Structure 1
Amino acid sequence: MGRAEERRARQRSARRAAPGRRTSSAAVGTGSSGIRRLFTWKKILGTFLGLCLLGIGGFVVLYLVVDVPQGNAAARQESNVYKYSNGSVMARVGEVNRESVDLSKVPKPVQRTFVAAENKTFYHDSGIDLKGTLRGVVNTLTGKGTQGGSTITQQYVKNYYLNQDQTVTRKLKEMVISLKVDRQMSKDAILAGYINTSYYGRNAYGIQAAAQAYYRKDADRLTVGEGAYLAALLQAPSQYDWAAAGPVGKKLVQARWNYVLDNMVKQGWLGASERQGMKFPVPKDPKGTPGEEGQKGYLVRLANQQLEKRLMDEQGMTATQAESAVVDRGWTITLNIDPRKQKVLERSVKAQLTSRLDPKQRSVDADVQAGAASVDPKTGKVVALYGGQDYFKHYVNNATRRDYQPASTFKPLIFASALEGSAQTQDGRPINANTVYDGTSGRQVLDHGAPVGFHPPNEDQHDYGHITVQQAMNQSVNSVFAQMGVDVGMDRVMSTAGRLGMDTKGMQAVPAQTLGSMGASPLEMAGIYATLDNHGRKVTPGVVAKAVLKNRVVTMPDPIGGQVISRNTADTVTSVLTGVVDDGTARDSVARNPARNGQEVAGKTGTSDEDRSAWFTGYTPDLVTSVGLFGEGAKPPHAQVSLRGTAGGGRVNGGTFPAEVWAAYTFGVTDQAAFDLQTTQGAAVQPTPTPTPTPSATPSTSPSPSPSDSGPTTSPSPSGTPSGTPSGTPSETLSPTPTRSLPTRRPTGGVSDNPLNPQDQGQP
């Protein structure tokens, strides 16, 4: 017997001796071989190739079936109809501003700016970006929205032959038609079609209309820099319109403009030295279109923007696609604007402000811009809005612009953050309406004994000595709220501001923000205060009630969201803010208005550095309105300027024109209602006691003619007032003696010591 036979004999013997093992091995072998037989590399490869052939075959069929349709871009333009909340027509907008020009009328360098901006391989590609198109199809199928990447040919096809719908069918048609168009038309013809059918904003379709709208010249006179701006616009026409863009939008469009020109240098279409010497060509101010005169243009623009945002969120459209799908497409858009309230607001601004301005006599009067937004806190509806004196004269909507500081109207958000987080002063005392701080002007803000390098002055350098949070809110004492912000933690303060509705993206959480040094709009502040008025439930103001396009109805999101701060916090802030009206910086303009007739009111004034902006944001139980006054140079570059001397007066603060406009409007449209507050703190639930003068805080007896919104008209002596501690210590000799003539609610809990503002002693 050979060795091989002996080895096989031993193996047979071993298998007979271990039958269980043999069975197990056989089972495993059978299973493994079964899986291997099911998933062989040949079958996997065959399946993959089969799917590829099926896809290719389907595309071939699609290519044969889909023809290039007749272009109908101009025919698809229809007027949009905008209605008030009662159904009456407010405006009809949509006369198409389009004038096609031959490509030979557009300078070659200007033509190339569009290629550099959108599709650098345009002159060499087959008309489609296969990778980008497939990515778009997959994203549409998976609900992830859309992404950029379309070629100029695809965008032209979408503009001229198809529409902006985000469907797989439309995307596949776009790809097929683009391939056919690229074979049937020259690149110059495609480029001409693209620049003549694109929407540039300002109701301008095509490069000729855009050249006139932005630079008041024909397309054949455009410079390379101007062409680069128009090319940059196509990414986001509304956001990048220089006249309406905020600081962020202007930075973005300048970055896009630089991107376009840098690409031209890389492609060899523009010399590096010529590029180096180019300056951004600021466009001219726009002109309105028929139907947009007065306040209508501001309302139309805001309605379009909110509908566009809804389409972007709901269908994954880009900003350009959404704008193209909304402007002049035949929508019937019903707004939440109440025509009666709108008329009263416009009339109030005229009576209290614009009728008193005389630019011929006073140059500062030409620099005054006003904006206001009024919101129903229970529904979130924007019921009235004032964007400026006339949309034809001032394109920027003052109600939505965010380039001016809200100043002291930010202080309630600091207090709300303190209450919401149960914050304490750095010496361990809970922060509430009765907490006493050191109100010394210019006092160094401390973080556990360490200076933070911030020591803001109070208005007119007034020193207050020991002062409660209620007093500090009434008189808008900067030094108190700067210290409170550090006590709470600026990260927490900005987080609370964000939850309440402030756009805090990109904002630094630094002590300087306690003075409201960020940008905000009247509409934004109205939404924040509406959330307070709505007991802490989030209010996102909505101007569009519904939008209908033929048989398609777009439902807008509910303006009322969930609870973002507790009801007790919101109601306590409201209670404290009633003191600003009855005992503080808004008293002369609001509390003493004869039309008030006992109506309960809460609110806050604000005035920014150098009087460049002045605010009053106030509310009754059923209406929140924010009024802003902005100093904007009447001549380009429209820089921010001081409002001092407006209407022949002196300083302008939130307690003057803004509060006067607010009161005239609010008391003209609201019914009597009482706040339903769940709190035991603040001016609304307790009378305000008078402090007994002490050596550390002796009130002056010489009142100033009018209250300031960042400081009182009289000031306590600072002598003996500590300034080296994070917050002051309560005076032990305060004697509670009610003196307020308009307490809005009887106490619902224990009355604690709450010193009356020294300003009110001896005054009516």
Structure 2
Amino acid sequence: MGRADARRAQARESRQAAKKGGIRGFFTWKKLLGTFFGIVLLGMGAFLALYLYVPVPAPNAMAERQSNVYQYSDGTVLARSNNGVNRQIVDLAQVPKQVQHAFVAAENKTFYKDQGVDFKGTTRALFNTLSGKGKQGGSTITQQYVKNYYLTQDPTVSRKLRELVISLKVDQQQSKEQILAGYINTAYYGRGASGIQAAAQAYYGIDAEDLNVSQGAYLASVLQAPSQYDWSTATDTSKRLVEERWAYTLRNMVEMGWLEESERARQKFPEPQKPKPAQGMEGQTGYLVEAVNKELDKQGISAEDREAGGWTFTLTVDKKHQRQLEKSVEKELESQLDREGNKTDATVQAGATSVDPKTGKVLAMYGGEDYVKHYVNNATRQDYQPASTFKPLVLAAALENEAKTQNGSLIGLNTVYDGTSKRPVVGSDTPFNPQNEDDRSYGPISVQKAMNSSVNSVFAQMIVDVTPAATKKTALAVGVPDKEFPERPAVSLGTMNASTWDMAGVYATLDNHGRKVTPHILQSAEHRARTVKPEAPKQQQVISRASADTVTSSLTGVVQSGSGRAASTSAYQAAGKTGTSEENKSAWFAGYTPELTTVVALFGEADGGRRQVSLTGTANSGRANGGGFPARIWADYTLGALGGGSDATFDLQDVERGEVPAPPTPSVAPSQEPTPSEKPTPSDTPSRTPSEKPTETPPSPSLPPTSSPPPVTPPTKTPTPELPPLPGEGDGQPGERPGGGGAQGE
């Protein structure tokens, strides 16, 4: 081989050696190991930087948002205001221990020992996310809590990395009990329920504290796939899967020592109840919630506080009383109305308030036909006149002030007045000569009989004798609102504005022997961070017991033999007063028994409440007076609310200047009352005409009693009529007009 060949061979060998040496030199084990540790150190540094950089954020708004619960006095739920989410956070101590363990057994058996993360599961989830397989499980309870409470549900790499870091920090900063509580209170269980309390209600109709281990295991199982595992909608396959998940949870509890094998063997799969519609504001619910919210404002719990949620508001409302009131309105009024085919019926609105006369607690309230159809609360609205339900307060003022008639006689139940219709009042700077019902004149008539028949001319003169200013003072003291309260003779006919709520307080004060009763509907307001229990309104003696009891005595006569006879029954003792405002725009019955005070009213309204219209023609029954629909509603409700009757009697003491009338034999029981079409009305069947009035007219507006008052005797239940029934006796309420006349009332 020549030199040239030798040189070429040597060059070729050199190139090959250089090539082999370069590759081997680059992939040496030392370099590979160094690179690996470099990457690990770089990753650790990056994770450390991430750990230092990523803080534990504030909770997301939806995680802390809760619903408010409104409940009856017995604790049953009336309504929930969702505020965008159905959740009520409960303390972990309120969840049975075995139910707590069921969640841990289902989701994360090592929860009490781990550091808050599952690196293997998280790595798998990251890989699946990067490979496009979507959201995957495998997270610890801590990680799921962090995702629900601090982050979002987005299946992104950045969110998963943040979840990992925050979970480590949360595990260091919070106890396992805090984390578990946060988890079960933020998780979504299906059926619109977020948190274990809402889930317990949605699936089993009970509170979280009442869950048993099987129910807890089901709720823990359903978290894996809420829509798929909801028993009411699950396919056969899904039912099999959730039963297997439930059994798996119980087996894990046995394995962890949280459940005895013998107890596990006794467990049966707890099928949940069928889903129920969310409780909304329909019917009477919205009116009750609205009334509570107004009271909450006065207690310092603002709309902003309520918006944050988490409150449990307990009402004073008795569920049985409330249901009875609704039934009575339906039976005695709504079932007889043709709201679609009768223009008058379409304008009729009913309102009612019933209170405990000893405490002022609102036991039942009727706000209208349906809150979602008629937003104005007819129980609390103050835009109608209470009419002749005010007349008892004129008498109360006369008694309180020891007022005298124009001829100097003390005013009492036996005082005789001139009951001539359209008789001008004497002693007033403001002329007033009101017309009585049907323009009927009574001639000389006692205050008791004038109250029974609601004689306008008598009470117009009486308020002049007392003075409107003194009457107003008494009226405000017992609870009439100081709103458009003119100090003129016409106010004797109730020309100010008031609500059934207001008048229930007024009549409860009379029922309570003159001690002020203030209606209230909030029993308590409880929150995890704050509890409000309103103090019961103080009951001061605003009028004397003698005055209050004398008025009660008078009002028993109205029920027994006067315009309120539709409320009369032998099942209970009652006192009450009817009222019909000018032009028949409202009709009232305010009455009470020794145990219950209730005011019922009808209102005629049109144009969404912007215009008041006449009730005449309601259910084709002529004039709608207080002794008709309102009294019948009152009677039916009272009989039901009292459980069919009561032996309680009015404890009347010191009745002033007048006898307690002996109760007559009750007319018919409320259930036997004729229908509106059968009942006589004042306008079409008067038993006496003006021509039948006594011809003798007294020389003065009032006459002294013809004899000294007989001894005071309480009402009995073996009555004899004081007067023959007079279907035409009603509740006149003309307005005050120039010249003194007015449209006749009830």
Q: Normalising by the residue count of structure 2, what TM-score does the alignment of the two structures yield?
A: 0.58
Partner Cα separation in structure 1 for residue 684 and residue 433 of structure 2 = 15
Partner Cα separation in structure 1 for residue 60 and residue 476 of structure 2 = 45
* Structure 1 residues without counterparts, runs of 5 or longer: 1-68, 98-288, 313-321, 690-703, 748-753
Is it true that 1:669 corresponds to 2:657 in the alignment? Answer: no
Partner Cα separation in structure 1 for residue 635 and residue 581 of structure 2 = 21
Pair 683,578 (structure 1): closer, same or farther in 2 beyond 3 Å:
farther
- For 2:344, the equivalent position in structure 1 comes to 364
Paired residues for 1:421-570 under 5 Å: 421-447=401-427, 452-570=430-548
- For 1:335, the equivalent position in structure 2 comes to 315
- For 1:605, the equivalent position in structure 2 comes to 578
- For 1:137, the equivalent position in structure 2 comes to none
Secondary structure, aligned partner of 1:562: coil
Partner Cα separation in structure 2 for residue 75 and residue 443 of structure 1 = 72
Pair 71,471 (structure 1): closer, same or farther in 2 beyond 3 Å:
same
Secondary structure, aligned partner of 1:644: coil
Kindly provide the CA deviation profile for residues 237-261 of structure 1, in whole angstroms up to 9, marking residues without a partner as x: xxxxxxxxxxxxxxxxxxxxxxxxx
Kindly provide the CA deviation profile for residues 273-315 of structure 1, in whole angstroms up to 9, marking residues without a partner as x: xxxxxxxxxxxxxxxx962111110000100111111228xxx
Deviation of the 1:480 alpha carbon = 0.5
Amino acid at match of 2:347: D
Pair 308,386 (structure 1): closer, same or farther in 2 beyond 3 Å:
same
Amino acid at match of 1:299: L
Partner Cα separation in structure 2 for residue 388 and residue 544 of structure 1 = 20
- For 1:271, the equivalent position in structure 2 comes to none
Is it true that 1:85 corresponds to 2:63 in the alignment? Answer: no
Contact 1:441–1:457 (CA under 8 A) maintained in structure 2: yes
Contact 2:430–2:488 (CA under 8 A) maintained in structure 1: no
Amino acid at match of 1:373: T
- For 2:214, the equivalent position in structure 1 comes to none
Secondary structure, aligned partner of 1:403: coil
Partner Cα separation in structure 1 for residue 687 and residue 621 of structure 2 = 17
Paired residues for 1:214-253 under 5 Å: none
Partner Cα separation in structure 2 for residue 420 and residue 759 of structure 1 = 31
Partner Cα separation in structure 1 for residue 525 and residue 556 of structure 2 = 38
Paired residues for 1:106-145 under 5 Å: none
Which has the higher Rg, Structure 1 or Structure 2? 2
- For 1:616, the equivalent position in structure 2 comes to 589
Pair 348,755 (structure 1): closer, same or farther in 2 beyond 3 Å:
closer
Partner Cα separation in structure 1 for residue 541 and residue 297 of structure 2 = 27
Pair 723,597 (structure 1): closer, same or farther in 2 beyond 3 Å:
closer
Amino acid at match of 2:619: A
Deviation of the 1:551 alpha carbon = 2.9
Secondary structure, aligned partner of 1:90: strand
Pair 677,328 (structure 1): closer, same or farther in 2 beyond 3 Å:
farther
Kindly provide the CA deviation profile for residues 504-555 of structure 1, in whole angstroms up to 9, marking residues without a partner as x: 1452211111110111111111110000101111100110101112231112
Output the aligned Cα RMSD: 3.3
Secondary structure, aligned partner of 1:508: coil
Is it true that 1:404 corresponds to 2:384 in the alignment? Answer: yes
Deviation of the 1:713 alpha carbon = 4.4
Pair 685,745 (structure 1): closer, same or farther in 2 beyond 3 Å:
farther
- For 2:688, the equivalent position in structure 1 comes to 714
Partner Cα separation in structure 1 for residue 686 and residue 455 of structure 2 = 8
- For 1:375, the equivalent position in structure 2 comes to 355
Secondary structure, aligned partner of 1:384: strand
- For 1:295, the equivalent position in structure 2 comes to 284
Secondary structure, aligned partner of 1:394: coil
Amino acid at match of 1:421: N
Pair 667,552 (structure 1): closer, same or farther in 2 beyond 3 Å:
same
Partner Cα separation in structure 1 for residue 482 and residue 683 of structure 2 = 24
- For 1:649, the equivalent position in structure 2 comes to 621
Paired residues for 1:25-424 under 5 Å: 77-96=65-84, 291-311=280-300, 322-327=302-307, 329-424=309-404
- For 2:274, the equivalent position in structure 1 comes to none
Question: Which of 599, 605, 610 is the aligned partner of 1:626?
Answer: 599
Pair 557,327 (structure 1): closer, same or farther in 2 beyond 3 Å:
farther
Amino acid at match of 1:301: E
Kindly provide the CA deviation profile for residues 623-657 of structure 1, in whole angstroms up to 9, marking residues without a partner as x: 00000100011x34641111111111111100000
Contact 1:576–1:682 (CA under 8 A) maintained in structure 2: no
- For 2:20, the equivalent position in structure 1 comes to none
Contact 1:80–1:330 (CA under 8 A) maintained in structure 2: yes
- For 1:150, the equivalent position in structure 2 comes to none
Partner Cα separation in structure 2 for residue 560 and residue 603 of structure 1 = 25
Paired residues for 1:689-700 under 5 Å: none
- For 1:190, the equivalent position in structure 2 comes to none
For these two proteins, the number of residue pairs brought into alignment is 461
Contact 1:406–1:615 (CA under 8 A) maintained in structure 2: yes
Pair 683,614 (structure 1): closer, same or farther in 2 beyond 3 Å:
farther
Amino acid at match of 2:624: V
Contact 1:308–1:323 (CA under 8 A) maintained in structure 2: yes
Partner Cα separation in structure 2 for residue 636 and residue 419 of structure 1 = 42
- For 1:15, the equivalent position in structure 2 comes to none
Partner Cα separation in structure 2 for residue 444 and residue 85 of structure 1 = 52
Partner Cα separation in structure 1 for residue 716 and residue 683 of structure 2 = 22
Secondary structure, aligned partner of 1:308: helix
Partner Cα separation in structure 1 for residue 320 and residue 580 of structure 2 = 30
Contact 1:458–1:477 (CA under 8 A) maintained in structure 2: yes
Partner Cα separation in structure 2 for residue 706 and residue 729 of structure 1 = 35
Deviation of the 1:679 alpha carbon = 3.2
Secondary structure, aligned partner of 1:655: coil
Amino acid at match of 2:69: V
Is it true that 1:590 corresponds to 2:567 in the alignment? Answer: yes
Amino acid at match of 2:634: W
Partner Cα separation in structure 1 for residue 684 and residue 358 of structure 2 = 31
Pair 396,344 (structure 1): closer, same or farther in 2 beyond 3 Å:
same
Deviation of the 1:330 alpha carbon = 2.4
Secondary structure, aligned partner of 2:508: helix
Amino acid at match of 2:293: N
Partner Cα separation in structure 2 for residue 94 and residue 499 of structure 1 = 40
Partner Cα separation in structure 2 for residue 709 and residue 524 of structure 1 = 30
Kindly provide the CA deviation profile for residues 191-212 of structure 1, in whole angstroms up to 9, marking residues without a partner as x: xxxxxxxxxxxxxxxxxxxxxx
Partner Cα separation in structure 2 for residue 710 and residue 529 of structure 1 = 31
Secondary structure, aligned partner of 2:299: helix
Deviation of the 1:729 alpha carbon = 5.3
Partner Cα separation in structure 2 for residue 735 and residue 415 of structure 1 = 17
Partner Cα separation in structure 2 for residue 628 and residue 705 of structure 1 = 19
Deviation of the 1:723 alpha carbon = 6.8
Partner Cα separation in structure 2 for residue 342 and residue 523 of structure 1 = 15
Kindly provide the CA deviation profile for residues 474-503 of structure 1, in whole angstroms up to 9, marking residues without a partner as x: 001111001100100111101111110111
* Structure 2 residues without counterparts, runs of 5 or longer: 1-56, 86-277, 665-677, 730-746
Partner Cα separation in structure 2 for residue 470 and residue 590 of structure 1 = 18
Over the matched positions of the two proteins, sequence identity in percent amounts to: 51
Partner Cα separation in structure 2 for residue 424 and residue 729 of structure 1 = 10
Kindly provide the CA deviation profile for residues 17-40 of structure 1, in whole angstroms up to 9, marking residues without a partner as x: xxxxxxxxxxxxxxxxxxxxxxxx
